Amino acid sequence: MIMPASGRTPLIIDVDTGIDDSLALLYACASSEADLVAVTCVSGNVEAVQVARNTLAVLELAGRGDVEVALGREVPLVRELRTAPDTHGPRGLGYAELPDAAAQLSPRHAADLIVAEARQRPGELTLITLGPLTNVALAVLLEPALPQLVKRLVMMAGAYRSAGNTGPTTEWNVAVDPEAMQIVLAAFGDTGRASRPLALGLDVTEKAKLTPAHLDHLARRAGCRSDGSPLAGGPTNEVVRFLADALRFYMEFHSRYDGFYGAFIHDALAVAAALDPALVRSQPVAVEVELGGNLTTGETVADWRRTWGRRPNLDVCTDADVATFFTRFQDRVGRLAAGRSGVAS
């Protein structure tokens, strides 16, 4: 396997940028070990065109307007698109408002970009999916060798030993495009490689529960209050203000439906695990996606007792060091915010 000369991990992140995707992007931009090659956009939390607009704006806020952003497929492979305005707001970023970015979208389609970059640097890229798997399914249909070309696929996807967040047994990213998830599992999980895809499901990501106290710590790391207003006469911090406005919507949602005032930041944990696999523990298991159930379409069915007798096709996370993750998230994004103080607009 070819290792990048820089020692940093080249990433392509596929997003449906709502609130937790935006936090994940900020974490990636704030992590010195990450080489953010490109971000690709898919419909999910909001429509793909809005996803792209949000993604460009968040990257510019972080000072990374140089990162290539590509639009992908705008509807699932088979099913009608559904979005989540109740969870993420009508434009995907809660109460936050960001100006349109100066950067333009890439002329490349997301699936073409994924394939081209994987061919250009075989064995180097880590591909992270934070939304429905539509773009990656298209990429693997374009290039069946994609599973051999990427270093690893890390997904925020599924619910394996926990209740769902879309239906009783289904997780949002899989439920929006279950056929895409099944195509990706079949392609990436049946290659005989030692490195199976890694899936962070709700079982683990719902342990990453961000509270107002976490945001306060991050803000103080950035030298401001938790609403982004200045401490000791300093400038307003636009990154922290964005976080406060976006997360307030998300926390209100969880207060109504999950009984706590805080936010599950699923996607940022997935990026952190991709950069440092030691943050999570996983177990290999055979997984299939239910495509035709009356009540369970989109369920990730995991054969924990190996009754199917099949080779595992997925490494499913079973636990995470959430304390270490939050320490890193607060310190890294707080430091990024401090560096952007008085710069972002």
| pLDDT single digits (tens) 42-89 | 999 999 999 999 999 999 999 999 999 999 999 999 999 999 999 999
Query: Between 266-275 and 19-30, two packed helices, what is the crossing angle to 10 degrees?
Result: 30
Predicted TM-score of the model (pTM):
0.96
CB atoms within 10 A of CB 298: 26
Pairing of strands 126-129, 209-210: unpaired
Number of H helices, E strands in the chain: 13, 12
214 given a catalytic annotation: no
> Of the listed 109, 214, 217, 266, which one is catalytic?
266
- Maximum distance among all Cα pairs of the chain, rounded to whole angstroms: 65
Query: Is 313 strand, coil or helix?
Result: coil
Q: What CATH code is assigned to 9-209+260-334? A: 3.90.245.10
Q: What whole-number percentage of the chain has pLDDT above 70?
A: 95
pLDDT at 324 over 50: yes
Under the banding of pLDDT at 50, 70 and 90, the label for residue 7 is: confident
CA–CA dist 229, 173 (Å, integer) = 35
**Pair of tokens at residue 13:** 């992140």
CA–CA dist 262, 219 (Å, integer) = 16
If 0-12 CB within 10 Å is exposed, 13-18 middle and 19+ buried, where does residue 59 land? buried
pLDDT at 286 over 70: yes
CA–CA dist 41, 298 (Å, integer) = 21
Q: What is the 8-class DSSP label of residue 131?
A: S
**Pair of tokens at residue 197:** 């895809």
| Every domain of the chain and the residues it spans | 9-209+260-334
| pLDDT single digits (tens) 209-260 | 999 999 999 999 999 999 999 987 778 999 999 999 999 999 999 999 999 9
